[in-house]
Amino acid sequence: MTRKRVLSGIQPTADSFHLGNYLGAVKQWVELQEDHDVFFFIADLHALTIETDPAILRRRTLVSVAQLLAAGLDPHQCTLFLQSHISQHNQLGWIMECQTGFGEASRMTQFKDKSQKSGTDRTAVGLFTYPMLQAADILLYQADRVPVGEDQRQHIELTRDLAGRFNSRYGQTFQVPEPHILKSGAKINDLQNPTAKMSKSADSMQGVIEIMDTPESNAKKIKSSMTDAGREVRFDQVEKPGISNLMTIHSALTGNTISQIETEFESKGYGDFKGAVAEIVVEYLRPIRAKALALLEDEASLIKILHSGADKARVVANATLAKTYENLGLVP
């Protein structure tokens, strides 16, 4: 049986992935490579939709790759590459822009939210065409499934619409991908503001656990996380959002169920529980961080891995683009 093809991308917009990225995406990518034909890339072109400092973009791109490899992506089992290494993304991106209605693109909620926040003069046109580039990312590789968070659902729906529309106008060209929305079960919230998702754009990083942060700093963040009223360690997202969030983290990293955790801490207080969670998180992340730091010591080898990933990706991307051009009537 042929393996299903899975594709996903992540933006290099932070100096470190945080625990929410790790549990919500990276860990699942690593699991998917076992029994799927997986393509993963760093969406460095998408990162240009906001103004970025060149040295920072470069560092964040390499640190992202190093973390993915350290977390267990194996370049022999998956195709790992940078979006900017494959010019077919931009080429198919233009074709997708020509398939998309202006109104249709204007209805993308992520664009509406972000452009409303910054105002039209400070919003790049690239932010508007972002979903069409994303559609190209996916369709170039004939992906069957696209694992993403809930916030990307609308972009995947657009991709499906564009694929179907193109296929019916110009003949079968693209696989219509299924979204694979990552379960909300392991949704990790901010440690200081535990009713909001853990996010790199939080007001303060005090509530965000970062893979590349030192073990001491992460332990401190967990021990000083927001304390709920009461004293029992019990899962209750309304009355005890802080403790419940820590229980979710514990469960995601140890595999213990919530009720096992409740039993374990039955006669203990918040202090003991926080100490235990800090220890679990720190020991879980320690080897990943150490491996990523070691990989970053040798940039040339990291870049070589990316080049060989790009060589594999390019073959597939090129075949799809050639077929697309031909079906459109562009003279070869």
| C-beta separation of 229 from 222 below 8 A | no
Under the binding rule (CB under 6 A), the answer on residue 43 touching ligand TRP is yes
The smaller minimum CB distance to ligand TRP, of residues 246 and 313, is found at 313
- Cβ 2 to ligand TRP shortest distance, Å: 21
Nearer to ligand TRP, 97 or 264 (CB): 97
Total residues at the site for ligand TRP (CB under 6 A)? 13
Shortest separation between residue 104's beta carbon and ligand TRP, angstroms? 17
Phi and psi at residue 68, in whole multiples of 5°? -65, -40
Kindly state whether residue 92 participates in binding ligand TRP, applying the rule CB under 6 A. no
> Does 36 interact with ligand TRP (rule: CB under 6 A)?
no
CB of 148 to ligand TRP, least distance (A): 5
Stretch that binds ligand TRP, among 30-38, 99-107, 146-154, 260-268 (CB under 6 A): 146-154
Tell whether residue 152 is a contact of ligand TRP (CB under 6 A).
yes
| First-to-last C-alpha distance (Å) of the chain | 34
Angle between helices 270-296 and 215-223 (to 10 degrees): 160
Q: How far is the CB of 152 from ligand TRP (least distance, A)?
A: 5
166 vs 173: CA distance, rounded Å:
7
Catalytic one among 4, 114, 220, 323?
Answer: 114
- Closest-CA residue to 274 (of 285, 261, 292, 289): 261
Of 6-14, 50-58, 184-192, 300-308: span binding ligand TRP (CB under 6 A): 6-14
Could you say which of 200, 220, 268, 312 is catalytic?
A: 200
Q: For residues 313 and 177, what is the distance between their CA atoms, to the nearest angstrom?
A: 18
291 classed as catalytic: no
Q: Which one of 138, 182, 253, 281 is in contact with ligand TRP (CB under 6 A)?
A: 138
Q: Which residue is nearest to ligand TRP (CB)?
A: 9
- Which of 19, 32, 47, 137 is close enough to bind ligand TRP by CB under 6 A? 137
Site mask, ligand TRP, residues 195-224, x = CB under 6 A?
A: ------------------------------
Residue 44 as a binder of ligand TRP (CB under 6 A): the answer is no
Distance CA 278, CA 296 (A): 26
Q: Which residue has the tokens 């929305």?
A: 181
Taking the least distance from each CB to ligand TRP, the nearer of 7 and 226 is: 7
Residue 146 near ligand TRP by CB under 6 A: yes
Q: Smallest distance, Å, CB 244 to ligand TRP?
A: 25
State yes or no: is 197 an active-site residue: yes
- Using the rule CB under 6 A, which residue among 9, 12, 207, 309 binds ligand TRP? 9
* 115 Ramachandran zone, left/alpha/beta (phi>0; psi -120 to 50): alpha
Q: What are the residues binding ligand TRP (CB under 6 A)? A: 7-11, 43, 46, 134, 137-138, 146, 148, 152
Catalytically active residues are 114, 197, 200
